[in-house]
Amino acid sequence: MVFGELDYSLLLIVLMRKSPARGASSPRNDCLEGSRKMQESLIVLVSLALLLGTAGSARIADEKPVKAEAVSLPGGEPGIGFDDIAYAPAMQQVIVPAAQTGRVYLIDPATKSHESCAVWQGRTTSAAAGDGYVFAVDRTHSAVNVIDPKLHKVVASATLEMEPDIVRYVPATHEVWVTEEDSQKGQLEILAFSDGGNVRLSRAAVVKVAGGGGPEALAVDPVRSRVYTNREDQKVTVAIDIPSRRIVAEWKNGTEGSSSGLALDETQAWLFVGSGAGGVSVLDVAHDGRVLGTLKVGKSTDLIGYNPVLRHVYVPDPKEGTLAIIGVSPSGEPRLLGTVETAKGSHAAAADNRGQVWVTDPNHGRLLVLNDTF
């Protein structure tokens, strides 16, 4: 029985017992007649409310909780220190850098089948696709490797100035942008890519994002020719102009604790910023980073995902082992739709083109995938 159903039943009994009998017309009886009709109306309304409540409880009871399906990776049982995962629309594959294994996996969302597109002696925690290639960081050797997924091997590499964190590809300029975190000397390193007969990756520029524990996370905005990153500890999001490679704006983003992952809806001009203390903030990048709304959920947040078709943000909580699914209103206001159990330490999420959400399970060296039915 749902809350309130018992109250409705008791009220219905009381109304039926106190309903006045019909009698001959008189001022008193006319008054009683009016009272009777009012009570009959109340009886109808209460009965309807009781009926709807019962139907609602039956519907809720019939609903099955959303459960994640495990997708195991070879040799992952001892655990894999996953960080970043991403969905590549052009390849229609989920890209999974498998940390200390030195492997980068490509997973087909339709069949859940996977293949290792390259392997080397190093730790890889972030990868991105562009121009038919996969670009993966090598934290062991402070480098970025270029992988040809058709040949299943590394075909080019470039050494970086510092240890890399997140990598993203900028199609318009054929550049690879890499965050290099440091509390005082943080920067973005930019590499030029070319594949005209000979695949090459070479240094092009550096953008200093010093101080504030950054740069943290990376999102590419092809509509406005910008790249976004965070000064993690300052709770500030930085906008960088791609052609000039200059910081053009810095916005207080409304996050709590720290600023973590980023996801972008380029059409709506919404930038989602993960809150280190749990939750998400929504910025309007078309209007000076105005905060459209914030939502506190869970205890922690790292790398987030987004489905632009559903307008759902996916916020993993590694401390709780849950995934919050957040809907976004037409005005950009976030609201919680539901929470799904995943795994402790699960701190990265990516949405594919099939309404599925992929999250990492580092303790078991596998991926978890669930259907977004919210």
Element (H, E) at 45: helix 27-62
Q: Which stretches of 90-166 are assigned E, i.e. beta strand?
A: 93-97, 103-107, 114-119, 127-130, 133-138, 143-148, 153-159
Q: For the sheet with 290-295, list strands across it.
A: 259-265, 270-275, 280-284, 290-295
Q: Collect all residues with Cβ–Cβ distance below 8 Å to 15 and sequence separation of at least 6.
A: 39, 42, 43, 46
pLDDT at 39: 53
Q: Where are the domains of the chain?
A: 5-62, 69-371
Helix/strand/coil for 92:
coil
pLDDT at 37: 52
Helix/strand/coil for 233:
helix
The model's pLDDT over 270-306, given as tens digits with 9 standing for 90+, comes to: 999 999 999 999 999 999 999 999 999 999 999 999 9
CB under 8 A, 24+ apart: contacts of 249-253: 249/288, 249/289, 251/283, 251/288, 251/289, 252/289, 252/291, 253/281, 253/283, 253/289, 253/291
End-to-end alpha carbon distance in the chain: 24
Residue 254: what are its φ and ψ, rounded to 5°?
80, 10
pLDDT at 191: 98
CATH fold of 69-371: Methylamine Dehydrogenase; Chain H (2.130.10)
Cβ neighbour number for residue 29 with a 10 Å cutoff: 15
> Rounded to an integer, what distance in angstroms lies between the CA atom of residue 182 and that of residue 59?
52
pLDDT at 224: 98
Q: Is pTM, for the whole model, over 0.75? A: yes
Mean pLDDT for each 10-residue chunk of the chain (374 residues)?
Answer: 41 43 47 50 45 41 69 92 95 95 95 92 95 96 96 96 97 97 90 92 94 89 98 94 97 94 98 96 98 96 96 97 97 97 94 97 96 95
